[in-house]
């Protein structure tokens, strides 16, 4: 599973990092993905973070 954040859509609310800090971190008020692949143990929380993004800036590819 791979996650990406569209920096042009991200509003820097930090919800993704709060839900899944194993995958997302804030960098100058824009979320970014920490690694190339989502760790298997973080897949559920990563999907939850994507679903919670208020501007749908997170894309998940399986």
Q: Give 3-state DSSP helix, strand, coil % of the chain, rounded to 5.
A: 30, 25, 45
The mean pLDDT value of the chain amounts to 97
Q: Is the pLDDT of residue 16 over 90?
A: yes
Query: What total of structural domains would you count in the chain?
Result: 1
Domain span holding position 56: 2-61
Q: What is the mean pLDDT of residues 15-24?
A: 98
Indicate the pTM of the whole model.
Answer: 0.94
CATH number at residue 14: 3.30.70.20
Q: Is the pLDDT of residue 2 over 90?
A: yes
Identify the pLDDT of residue 47.
Answer: 98
Identify the pLDDT of residue 62.
Answer: 87
């Amino acid at each position: 599973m791979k996650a990406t954040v569209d920096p042009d859509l991200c509003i820097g609310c930090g919800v993704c990092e709060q839900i899944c800090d194993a995958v997302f971190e804030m960098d100058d008020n824009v979320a970014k993905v920490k690694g190339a692949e989502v760790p298997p143990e973080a897949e559920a929380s990563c999907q939850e973070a994507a679903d919670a993004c208020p501007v749908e800036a997170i894309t998940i590819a399986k």
